[in-house]
Amino acid sequence: EASWEAFYRVVLLGDPGVGKTSLASLFAGKQEKDLHEQLEEGVYERTLTVDGEDTTLLVVDTWEAEKLDKSWSRESCLQQGCAYIIVYSIADRGSFESASELRIQLRRTHQADHVPIILVGNKADLARCREVSVEEGRACAVVFDCKFIETSAALQHNVAELFEGVVRQLRLRRQDC
Ligand code: GDP
């Protein structure tokens, strides 16, 4: 049986309403409720096979105030990730600005280690309400030295690709955490 140390903790960050919980529950697999184990509120475990190799991710969706508890303060969210997914909504400019602030906060907490960060522009289906262009998202990711992907949790578009990308980033850096 895998120990806790064998898991990669991946922490979801971002403004309320951008789609963190929607992405986390797609990761957990809605149809497989009995198969995946929900370890604690807002924490989801799943083993993904990527490029023929298994990796277990522990996705932590406790950034919102109502899900924070003694074991997952905001501080521990910022400190305890092996990788981070910073989510904004392409239909909400304010959430894009918050994403930049979160990146800066992460840089402060993870000065030495090069923890993988993926910037996610979610709600890509809301094309007519778009406030952040793909180019802006991509440029922001370059400046902040992270990966970038646009997703739609509503259409289940690029969600599997997002988590596979996280696995590949973790393998590239192979850091202990
Ligand atoms: P959180 O507060 O960041 O966890 O956001 P939620 O996952 O609770 O989502 C907030 C709202 O946005 C919900 O009503 C979701 O159904 C909706 N939502 C999430 N992802 C998408 C998406 O990709 N497209 C659209 N149109 N709505 C979404």
Question: Which residue lies with its CA nearest to atom 9 of ligand 1?
Answer: 19
- In angstroms, what is the span from residue 4 Cα to ligand 1's centroid? 29
Q: Is 29 in the pocket of ligand 1 (CB under 6 A)?
A: no
Q: Closest Cα to residue 27, out of 19, 150, 125, 139?
A: 19
Ranges 32-41, 45-54, 149-158, most confident: 149-158
Please tell me the pTM assigned to this model: 0.91
- In angstroms, what is the span from residue 19 Cα to ligand 1's centroid? 4
| CB proximity list for 30: less than 8 A, separation 6 or greater | none
pLDDT tens-digit readout, 59-106: 999 998 666 565 668 888 898 899 999 999 999 999 999 999 999 999
Gap between the Cα atoms of 79 and 19, Å rounded: 22
Judge contact between 101 and 107, C-beta under 8 A.
no
ipTM: 0.99
Judge contact between 61 and 21, C-beta under 8 A.
yes
Q: Is 20 in the pocket of ligand 1 (CB under 6 A)?
A: yes
Compute the mean pLDDT over every residue in the chain, rounded to the nearest whole number: 88
pLDDT tens-digit readout, 121-166: 999 999 999 999 999 999 999 999 999 999 999 999 999 999 999 9
* Ligand 1 atom, smallest distance to 155 CA: 23
SS3 state at 53: strand
Whether the predicted pLDDT of 20 surpasses 50: yes
pLDDT tens-digit readout, 6-16: 579 999 999 99
* Ligand 1 atom, smallest distance to 14 CA: 3
Q: Closest Cα to residue 61, out of 16, 106, 13?
A: 13
